[in-house]
Amino acid sequence: MSVAWRVTLVAVGALVIVLGLGFVALVRSEGLPTPAPTPTDLQVEETLLLQVLDADGYARGNVVIGIEPPATDPLTVFLAVPASLLVAQGDDSVTLGTTPQSADTLAGVTAIEDSLGLRVDAGLSLDRLAFAGLVDAVDGVWVELTRPILLPAIGEETRLRVLGPGWVKMDGIAAADYAVLRIPGESETDRIDRFLGVLQDTIERMPRTNDQMRQLLTSLGSLAQSTVPTEELVPFLKSVRSDVDFGDVRTEILPVEIIRGGARPAAVAAPDADALVQALFPDARLSADDAEMTG
């Protein structure tokens, strides 16, 4: 037999052995259950409650931010919740704006979960100076003012400074005051729109890398209170920043009905609020059992 024929027979024999082993493995695997997906394979909608405080420690800016799972179309949802919304706190009812003043660091998160039936994975409250630091870290924000506004003078709270009209580049303190400013005669919806505009402009200018985002959050210090470690906020905020940059966002304001007016009004959720929450966060609603446990 020639050398060429011997080589051919060896190759054919090896192929037969490989196919045979594969067939045996296939037969043995029949009837075995499919391995369950690992936790990293599971993708769920993630949510964060961000609260921004004014100089008196009242959270005038409140927004639930949700990001869709990576398997779906990229989208970040901003649901602004009026500070006037009445929420349960112990045996009493308080407005959402007062929850950061509670000794319970989860007060705001629990309030949203109980009142809206919406799962909140993390909470982040920013003191006025922390929000100012965030804006300064991104080199300020540009705001178009249709009319002049009065803001406290830097370092002199009893004096006022005039900004606008026209395009104004705001530093951190000016942006923080402007974002939560209460203008007499202005509706709460208009004030929330102003807050969301400053917030989204700031987010769009935030760092792109993990290290830079981590350094930014760490630099805010104790004036930024979070219910989760910084490491968990970094990927979340990076995803939000990317969606805002590409315009993949949906912004809504929770509809409420005012039951008490004044400087700090009180309100209850409007009848159509539940349908809006369901449409925005279909995968982050709490079941009846979950609601009882959080309650």
Residues 6 or more apart whose Cβ sits within 8 Å of residue 223: 126, 127, 129, 130, 133
Q: What is the pLDDT of residues 158-194, one digit of tens each?
A: 678 899 999 999 999 999 999 998 877 788 889 999 9
Residue 155's pLDDT is 64
Q: Name the stretches of the chain with pLDDT < 50.
A: 2-42, 291, 293-295
CB proximity list for 216: less than 8 A, separation 6 or greater: 134, 137, 206, 207
Which pairing describes strands 92-95 and 156-163: parallel, antiparallel, or unpaired? unpaired
pLDDT in tens, 216-256: 999 999 999 999 999 999 999 999 999 999 999 999 999 99
Query: Which pLDDT score is estimated for 11?
Result: 44
Q: How far apart are CA 198 and CA 52, in angstroms?
A: 12
Instruction: Kindly give the interhelix angle for 210-219 and 128-137, rounded to the nearest 10 degrees.
Output: 140
DSSP H helical ranges for 142-263: 172-179, 188-204, 210-219, 230-246
Q: Which residues, 6+ apart, have CB-to-CB distance to 58 below 8 Å?
A: 83, 97, 98, 101, 264
Report yes or no on whether pTM surpasses 0.85. Answer: no
Output the pLDDT for position 77: 96
Name the amino acid, one letter, at 268: V
DSSP code for 135:
H
Q: Domain segments of the chain: what residues? A: 41-294
CATH superfamily for 41-294 is LCP protein (3.40.630.190)
State the DSSP code for 149. E
- In the three-class reduction of DSSP (H, G, I as helix; E, B as strand; rest coil), residue 252 is classed as strand
Query: What is the predicted pLDDT for the residue at 68?
Result: 84
- Distance from C-alpha of 241 to C-alpha of 34, rounded to nearest angstrom: 37
Backbone angles phi, psi at 181, to 5 degrees: -60, 135
Q: At what angle do helices 188-204 and 230-246 cross, to 10 degrees?
A: 100
Model pLDDT, residue 12: 38
Query: Mean pLDDT in the chain?
Result: 84
Q: What are phi and psi of 212, to 5 degrees?
A: -65, -40
Residue linked to tokens 């940059």: 245
